[in-house]
Amino acid sequence: MISVLELRHTLEAAFLPSRCICKFSDDNTLLLQLTNPTTHLVELTVTGIDPGTLNSSSAIASVISDIKEEVRRRAESSNKIYHLA
């Protein structure tokens, strides 16, 4: 299994240039908070990630991909609303 420090570094580095804060909650799950590097607004907060499921590089890559896709969807949705106003 990957160490907690390695996992945290991998996750935080995966979302650059966005700021990613990776914390372990009291219930031993991960919390990720992504902040836009330009606006400094929180783009997404993901809670309840079980670090036990992140036991391979492909599992970590899959979680990263899913989160990036959610950020992209939210950004597109936000842009559509903005352009319609």
Q: Helix 4-14 vs helix 57-84: angle between axes, to the nearest 10 degrees? A: 30
User: How many distinct structural domains can be found in the chain?
Assistant: 1
For residues 22 and 7, give the distance between their C-alpha atoms in angstroms, rounded to a whole number: 9
Range of the domain at 64: 4-84
For residues 64 and 39, give the distance between their C-alpha atoms in angstroms, rounded to a whole number: 22
Q: What is the pLDDT along the chain (85 residues), one digit of tens a residue?
A: 688 889 999 999 999 999 999 998 889 999 999 999 999 999 999 999 999 999 999 999 999 999 999 999 988 887 655 544 4
Token pair, residue 44, equals 């997404």
- pLDDT of amino acid 75: 84
Token pair, residue 45, equals 């907060």
